[in-house]
Structure 1
Amino acid sequence: MSTLFIADLHLSENHRQITQALYSFLDNRTKNVDALYILGDLFEVWIGDDEHTALMDKVANKLKTYSIENNIKTYFIHGNRDFMLGKRYAKQSGMQLLDEHYKIDLYGEKVLILHGDTLCLADKNYQKMRKVIHNPALQFVFNLLPLHFRKKIGWKIRTASQSKKEYKSNNIMGVTQSEVERLLVKHKCSTMIHGHTHQVAKHEFEIAGQPYKRFDVGDWFTNFSYVEADENGIELYIEPIDTKA
């Protein structure tokens, strides 16, 4: 049996080949799979569970069918794009929502999973904004706004974020190693799996002479990547996306 981890698909109507890549990924990985963990940014933007687009409903149906028909548990950790995804859509998709930092026992190995945006402490402007937009009171007020107004706000934030990202160096977008180590020690885990940075890689390092690992799952665009774990260990895979799909 194995467990799968994906992140940063950024699904939207503008990149249908990525949606098709997700469907193919699910169709081809049904045998001997215990669970699928989606580590945030499944969608490019999310402004509330009351929005119903054809894409959102089709993805929800696909995920729920995948989970039920194959007896595979599906879990979701919020990303910085879809942090407003709520219980209603999670239920529609057959997903269980998890805390932003979540510890799991992965075939005898203690693993910390998260989206990864909380690791990027060098991106000070984002961290300041994150504290604001994750305020429960502000989110409650935002959900009271008319849907069309929330759409405008959501896409303005998305456009501004994309523009700023183009000028950020990899050092700012990458993780802060001291924060990685702090969280691993705090949660008593030897391995971390996350997304967000779009810098797909496996990192090995030591803390106080003990070995640790960090897997950056990577985004889906021209390639898709995923982490697969079983009783023999944890591996990172990268495969091309069919851009003609």
Structure 2
Amino acid sequence: MMRTLFIADLHLSENHRHISDAFFSFLEKEAVNAETLYILGDMFEVWIGDDEHTPLMDEVAQKLTQFSQKNNTPIFYIHGNRDFMIGKRYAKQASMTLLPEHTEIDLYGCKTLIMHGDTLCLFDKNYQRMRKVIHNPMLQFIFNCLPLRLRKRIGWKIRTASQSKKVYKNTNMMGVTQDEVLRLMSKHNVQHLIHGHTHQAFIHDLEVNNKAGKRYDVGDWYNNLSYVEASPTGVELVVRPINYYQ
């Protein structure tokens, strides 16, 4: 059966081993016969550089490589807002191909736009301002030159600040801006958009250029696991308990 799978927002960390176990089981039992696997960002809770080697990072790379080689399945990765510093070194270690933040793909004859989704949330002006700063190539180069221990402290301080601010953000701020969705879909001339970031697994019906379209929000892996499955017969969103495969 021809299948393409999309996942996002696993936020893997040593503190949430059940999510890592769910992910590895997903690779072994669900994705085993997939033609292609797309990971749409935030696979890790935090990323401070390819030169860090934690047991979890190495285990994830090993599992992805084994999965890709055993099943001859290509893995494509779009950076998230947590792990935008993943570089070519780790991508190679994990057998992943890095993609631009907005990528068009041919999904069984249907031109589709895929992305992480943080660029859609324009109401969150503070984040969008910060995003411009942290995505500056020069600042990223300087950050990578800092000692690993210092980068760890900075990375976790940013993560802690981000988590605390979430409490005060309303749903509209955390959600996507419809005008930006329509603008990007019109720009790329697509009727389908697949993304993550908002952690709200849902299929949204919309109209783009006077034609029916759909926006697939992949969802996160906190209490449930979720993924989008595409085949020649259609696209569906699947949500299951986090321990479904175990």
The TM tier, using the shorter chain, reads over 0.9
**Distance in 2 of aligned mates of 1:129 and 1:31:** 38
The alignment's TM-score, normalised by the length of structure 2, stands at 0.97
Which residue of structure 2 aligns with residue 135 of structure 1?
Answer: 136
Partner of 1:110: 111
Alignment of 1:46-195 (within 5 A): 46-195=47-196
Q: Please name the residue that 2:35 is paired with.
A: 34
**Greater CA drift, 12-21 or 23-32:** 23-32
Tell me how far 1:179 sits from its aligned partner. Answer: 0.4
Distance 1:31 1:159, change over 3 A: closer
How many aligned residue pairs are there?
A: 244
SS at match of 2:6: strand
Does the aligned pair in 2 maintain the 1:30–1:70 contact within 8 Å? Answer: no
Contact 1:205 1:212 in 2 (8 A): yes
Runs (4 or more) in structure 1 with deviation over 3 Å come to none
SS at match of 1:21: helix
Residues in 2 aligned to 1:225 and 1:34: alpha-carbon distance in whole angstroms: 18
**CA–CA separation in structure 1 for the residues paired with 2:132 and 2:98:** 20
TM-score normalised according to structure 1 size: 0.98
**Structure 1 letter corresponding to 2:181:** V
* Contact 2:203 2:215 (C-alpha < 8 Å) held by counterparts: yes
Q: Percentage identity across aligned positions?
A: 66
Gaps of at least 5 residues in structure 1 are: none
CA contact (8 A) 1:117 1:196 kept: yes
Q: Cα RMSD between the aligned structures?
A: 1.1
Counterpart of 1:101, as a letter, is: H
The alpha carbon displacement at 1:209 in A equals 2.5
DSSP-derived class of the 2:35 partner: strand
Residue of structure 2 equivalent to 1:19: 20
Q: Which residue of 2 aligns with 1:241?
A: 242
User: 8 Å contact 2:229–2:237 — kept in the other structure?
Assistant: yes
Give the superposition deviation at 1:208. 3.8
Q: What are the within-5 Å matches in structure 2 for residues 203-222 of structure 1? A: 203-222=204-223
Q: Please name the residue that 1:226 is paired with.
A: 227
Cα pair 1:2 1:32 within 8 Å, conserved: yes
How many Å apart are 1:31 and its aligned residue?
A: 4.5
Measured in 2, the distance between the counterparts of 1:166 and 1:80 equals: 18
1:123-168 per-position Cα deviation (integer Å, ceiling 9, x unaligned): 0000000000000000000000000000000000000000001110
Measured in 2, the distance between the counterparts of 1:147 and 1:77 equals 24
CA distance in 1 between counterparts of 2:5 and 2:73 reads: 10
- Unmatched 5+ stretches in structure 2: none
Give 1:30 shift: 4.3
Query: Secondary structure of the equivalent of 1:83?
Result: coil
The answer to whether the 8 Å contact 2:191/2:208 transfers is no
Given residue 51 of structure 2, which amino acid in structure 1 is its aligned partner?
Answer: D
CA distance in 2, matches of 1:29, 1:92: 22
**Distance in 1 between the 2:184 and 2:7 partners?**
21
* Letter of the structure 2 residue corresponding to residue 102 of structure 1: T
> What secondary structure sits across from 1:226 in the alignment?
strand
Cα deviation, residue 241, structure 1: 1.0
CA contact (8 A) 1:41 1:82 kept: yes
In the alignment, which residue of structure 2 is the partner of 1:3? 4
